[in-house]
Amino acid sequence: MSDPSVELLAQQLHDLTGNCLIVADENWDNAPWTTIAQSGHAQRILRSNRYEIAQAAAGVGLSTEFNDFDFSDLEAASFDTVLFRVSKERAVSHHIINQASVLLKPGGTLMLTGEKTEGLKTYTRHASKLFGDSCQPQKLGNYYLSRLAKFSDNQAPLEDKNYLALRPIASPENLPLQSKPGIFGWNKIDQGSALLINQLPQFVQSFGGDNPPQSLLDLGCGYGFLSCAAAQLNFAQITATDNNAAALRACQTNFEALEIDGRVIAGDAGSQIEERFDAIICNPPFHQGFNIDSQLTEKFLSASKRLLAPRGRVLFVVNNFIALEKKAQDYFPRIREVARSGSFKLIMASFKD
């Protein structure tokens, strides 16, 4: 099911002409791509920071680029319209609004959609000041649409935490890691990841001293904390993959800083990887609050089964309330909990003991 705010933007394309920039983050999963590609007469360009969304857009013929919302290659004042469904992260939304003020022609329009609880009215108020407009959001059911015309370009930009820049973060392993806004948990090491790394030596030992794992896959790597910490255990080959452009850029930077001879690969739950690995580690985004994304859970479990070597083992860290053990039974014959701390537990799965 597609996001209603995204569908609301897609409906606006019917009446648009000129050059249109579509900015698509994770909210555009399952978007009505045929409508987006064919409705109206606007010349449309799409930028997305999510690999699978960029692939879906390109698949219907849209001019698409996958990157971390870097618009520096686009000409200033060259677009008639920018379409943006507000992001879950304020820094991302502020960055896009700031960039829209640069990319729009005088009199061009920024169309914002979202729910009241997502701050759509606040974003509209701040963007109105930046644009020199006095827009009021239009309520359409439970969602809002704002049309902001650009009349000014001399106001101070919104605070976006210097969105594009990588910056150092603290690490319990004393690793010189960098991260940035736009990555889940970008400015901290979450308790689940810390638990996994603390148990990783025991995980390696479970293979037996005579045949330790040689290859490691970090599935959903984020900025690479798990991979970078695991590199201390002398894996011969480390591969990290994620669907988030910001995460991939940060992870690659961290690999280079630590001189890790590893690969960083864009993909949707390892979709662009064919080889199999002795060990897979994963701190997956299976939930928001207490709502569990069953489709995403099955995607990561299926990917792990496909990418795990016959003698391999996969180690998941999840919240205690997620019954991963039960779902994993459809993919692996051997499943057991190996550690628990606070709100998290570690689940190990394999094809054989």
Which tens digit of pLDDT belongs to each residue from 107-152?
999 999 999 899 999 999 999 999 999 999 999 989 999 999 999 8
Alpha helices in the chain (DSSP H): 4-12, 33-38, 51-59, 90-103, 120-131, 191-205, 225-230, 245-257, 294-307, 324-328
- Of 120, 123, 130, the residue nearest 157 (C-alpha): 130
pLDDT at 286: 73
DSSP 129: H
Which tens digit of pLDDT belongs to each residue from 162-176?
999 999 998 877 899
Stretch 297-303: mean pLDDT: 94
Stretch 91-101: mean pLDDT: 98
Which tens digit of pLDDT belongs to each residue from 15-54?
999 999 999 999 999 999 999 999 999 999 999 999 999 9
Which tens digit of pLDDT belongs to each residue from 217-233?
999 999 999 999 999 99
DSSP 289: T
Residues 6+ apart with CB under 8 A from 23: 46, 47, 48, 69, 82, 83, 84, 96
% of the chain with per-residue pLDDT over 70: 98
Stretch 145-161: mean pLDDT: 93
CATH superfamily of 4-149: Vaccinia Virus protein VP39 (3.40.50.150)
- Of 232, 113, 250, the residue nearest 240 (C-alpha): 250
Domain boundaries of the chain, sorted by first residue? 4-149, 167-350
The count of residues in the chain is: 353
Same fold, 4-149 and 167-350: yes
Give the right CATH number for 167-350 from 3.40.50.150, 3.40.50.300, 3.50.50.60, 3.40.30.10.
3.40.50.150
- Of 232, 193, 195, 234, the residue nearest 212 (C-alpha): 234
